[in-house]
């Protein structure tokens, strides 16, 4: 028997001066469950720009929350 499901994928990047600090991704399942992750792409750039990365991560999470809340 075929079982089907639907989900929404959201992706984002944290950048400074055109260079990527890290990536964010989240998947919202049909029942509203969320799976999310973040990846630091450039450790040196991250260390020099933690504040930017963390602000972008918070903005990404707020955006995902807004999709869940409707």
Could you report the per-residue pLDDT of 28-67, keeping only the tens digit for each? 999 889 999 999 999 999 999 999 999 999 999 999 999 9
- Tokens 């890290």 sit on residue: 22
Q: Note the pLDDT of residue 69.
A: 86
Whether the full predicted model's pTM is greater than 0.85, yes or no, is yes
Handedness of CA 57, 14, 49, 46 (dihedral sign): positive
Query: DSSP character for 22?
Result: E
Handedness of CA 43, 48, 53, 54 (dihedral sign): positive
Continuous segment of H or E residues that includes residue 44: helix 43-48
Domain ranges across the chain: 9-69
Of the pLDDT bands very low, low, confident and very high (cuts 50, 70, 90), residue 20 is very high
């Amino acid at each position: 028997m075929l079982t089907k499901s639907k989900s929404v994928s959201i992706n984002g990047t944290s950048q400074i001066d055109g260079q990527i600090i890290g990536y964010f991704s989240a998947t919202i399942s049909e029942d509203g469950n969320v799976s999310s992750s973040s990846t630091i792409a450039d450790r040196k750039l991250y260390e020099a720009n933690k504040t930017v990365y963390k602000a972008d991560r918070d903005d990404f999470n707020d955006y995902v929350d807004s999709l869940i809340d409707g």
